[in-house]
Amino acid sequence: MTVEDNHNHFCIYCGAKLMPNQHFCSQCGKEVYHNPKEEVIKVSSKYKSEVDKIEQDYNSKQAKATELVEKLFDPTHMSYAKFTNAIKKSNQLFTNQIKITRRMMELDSNEVVDGEIENKIKTLNTFVDKMEDLINELVIQLSSNKKDNDDINDLFNDMDDLIGSVKNY
């Protein structure tokens, strides 16, 4: 909104008062009118390359874990369903966290925003670490064919705890 736009001092979605040159409502978060002639210079977030790398690492590890599950278990086996469901849940939450992180990176950088982005990056790295743990357990299973499933059950519990904590966050 520009100063000349005297008719648009309130959000048309929720009615909150708007400040001059405000592009998003501070109350509901929706985009408000802005002069299309104004040139917007988008500054790349200092976290972009780090988040891109985390996403790439996760996708690579997720593909490897899926490949190992398909090698180890018959699709009719109960463990196959358990592993594929855990991977699917992890993917959904990871994708959601990536989207949130990227949206936060679009905000003007300040101490609070940067702190929240750094917390999200820690969470994303935890997903990568857990996927790596899953791969390691699957490789051990593949190479040893051992009957002891305690390590795998512990890993599932860790992944469920991670998923639960992200949902609660």
pLDDT for residue 5 is more than 60? no
Alpha carbon of 12 to those of 5, 17, 136: distances in Å?
Answer: 14, 10, 53
Q: Write down the pLDDT at residue 7.
A: 47
Task: Find, among 132, 13, 15, 121, the residue nearest to 65 by Cα.
Answer: 132
pLDDT tens digits, residue range 69-115?
Answer: 888 888 888 888 888 998 999 999 999 999 999 999 988 888 998 99
Q: Where are the domains of the chain?
A: 1-41, 48-168
Query: Percent of the chain scored above 90 by pLDDT?
Result: 34
What is the DSSP code (8-state) at residue 31?
B
